Chains A and B, each alone.
Chain A
């Protein structure tokens, strides 16, 4: 099977070369028409070109993040399939679910006859996405890992769905909001910040992570930013040794603050002594979607509060 899927891959790549070659050769008046004939093409996050003849009308979003992004890109009405935990926007909960992002019910998905599948590079099983491609479905892989990638994903999704007006506007607003925050906190006093992703095991993020980027943007200095893993696992001792000025935690629910009370047992921590233990709703900061702007605003405000308590 491996050999045959490789052969398909090769055939597919080969098939692309011809139109590209034709375009390259045709430095002729007809070239624009030919480009038109190729439909709407965008590059996905696996660096592959996805082309659709017409805007996608039946879209399957295989992660909660993809669902948020496609809605924000203005194509929510065209979504026919989502996966479990796709809770935002609320309308998404009325769309048919095709299992969870780690295990997609391919049968349910295929019978909804989607014309575009939004896959998640590291979240969906690659075998299942490959099966979908072999069945002839276009799969657009996403993996937004930076602030800019969120905006660019919005634009590319809008292009595939034919909702460029709304999608481009959403992307522009997101970029402008983030730029405004960056400008506001560009000269802010640095605050050493520990961001807690999870409590057992205790996990943080490094500077490569999207949250690390937000902390930096708000004038924070990520305590564990230099570690090599994207989501490093650490222990209380490491936090005590680093003695951050502020501790920011997500939590399991939207209002779950008990992770923070754990730190009260260490009154010697600067963050505890100054009461700089803050909660930021995880859905606003841990998902690479436009709501990240709201989460970033909250995080920046918390760090500003910490500066005021010096």
Chain B
């Protein structure tokens, strides 16, 4: 009897998972379609359709397949990575203010990228150097927070925040000492900009892989979100799970920052928004974050490159302008 009841609840829970995900996936597709069809150069709908069928003139093909499509896919991947990383950090640290950058990862990446720019090195080296910086920062926080024994989220958070402050000082020092002609590039990198995004496939692949890996861990994450003691009492092996989350979130953030600089806001607010609407079930929230974060960034980037075209805006401005009122509305409604 009890077994039948349980299986019925699982089925309805599964159905409850699929509907929001399907809606979000549809929204993502619509956003991608919109980002392909608008831009500073106008491409007629017929021309767009011809290109998507594999025909069309050379100019429209270049515009859509070589410029808009890779950029939109990169935007989707980066948005998804940041939102999932933010959700993971919030579970790990059990702190609503946690975001992907709270433990200093973006600072490490920024120091790496700015050092490469200061040395006058080009695009691919900047990405590699940013990744190295993010990796170094992860190891530093990991090593120092792990210390000699007792380990708590509070200790991890403090270590990360202090290391982030250290990186911040190094960034300011580098900006102060850098030649004036390098400054604009550095500032745009710090603000986050998808104009610099290269191939979209590595971040997309990582996003898909991590989402698939996290689905089986969803239950444990749900328990962990209630606190490590309860989780341990319920048979979850807390320590390895926490380090796994930390490493996964770090890898996601490092990839996102390496692709498009440090774009703020998405990682903090998208998970909260989804929790307000969908409840706090990590099995649903994590894939939903991937879809919603990606959709938000695709829409924001489309606005950023078209609003005052040919001038281009930093995408972080738009994510905040779109996200702040939406978030405040949801928060207000949820009282």
Contact = CB atoms under 8 A, between A and B. Distances in A.
Interface string B181-210: 110110010000101101100100000000
B62 A110 contact: yes
Contacts of A99: 309-312
A274 interface: no
A146 interface: no
A42 B102 CA distance: 50
Contacts of B182: 122
Contact of B195 (A84, A96, A103, A134): A103
B20 interface: no
A108 B179 contact: no
Contacts of B199: 1, 4
Interface in A5-60: 5-6
Nearest to B189: A125
B272 interface: no
B305 A107 contact: yes
Contacts of B179: 122, 229-231
A4 B199 CA distance: 10
B79 to A, nearest CB: 19
A2 B124 contact: yes
Interface string A121-153: 011011110110011000000000000000000
B46 interface: no
Contact of B39 (A2, A107, A131): A107
Interface string B307-320: 00111100000000
Contact of A125 (B62, B124, B196, B310): B196
A102 interface: yes
Interface stretch (B26-34, B63-71, B142-150): B63-71
A135 B310 contact: no
A122 to B, nearest CB: 4
Contacts of B312: 99-100, 103-105
Majority SS at the chain B contact face: helix
B250 interface: no
Contacts of B124: 1-2, 5-6
B329 to A, nearest CB: 31
B59 A128 contact: no
A110 B125 CA distance: 26
A99 B314 CA distance: 13
Interface string B124-143: 11011000000000000000
B40 to A, nearest CB: 4
Contact of A108 (B41, B196, B198): B41
A242 interface: no
A113 interface: yes
A107 B180 contact: no
Contacts of B196: 125, 127-128
Interface of A: 1-2, 4-6, 84, 96-100, 102-108, 110-111, 113, 122-123, 125-128, 130-131, 134-135, 203, 229-231, 233
9 contacts: A1-B199, A2-B128, A5-B123, A97-B310, A99-B312, A105-B310, A108-B41, A127-B123, A130-B122
Given A2-B128, A110-B63, A111-B59, 14 more contacts: A1-B202, A96-B310, A97-B310, A98-B310, A99-B310, A100-B312, A103-B193, A105-B305, A107-B39, A107-B305, A108-B309, A113-B59, A135-B62, A233-B176
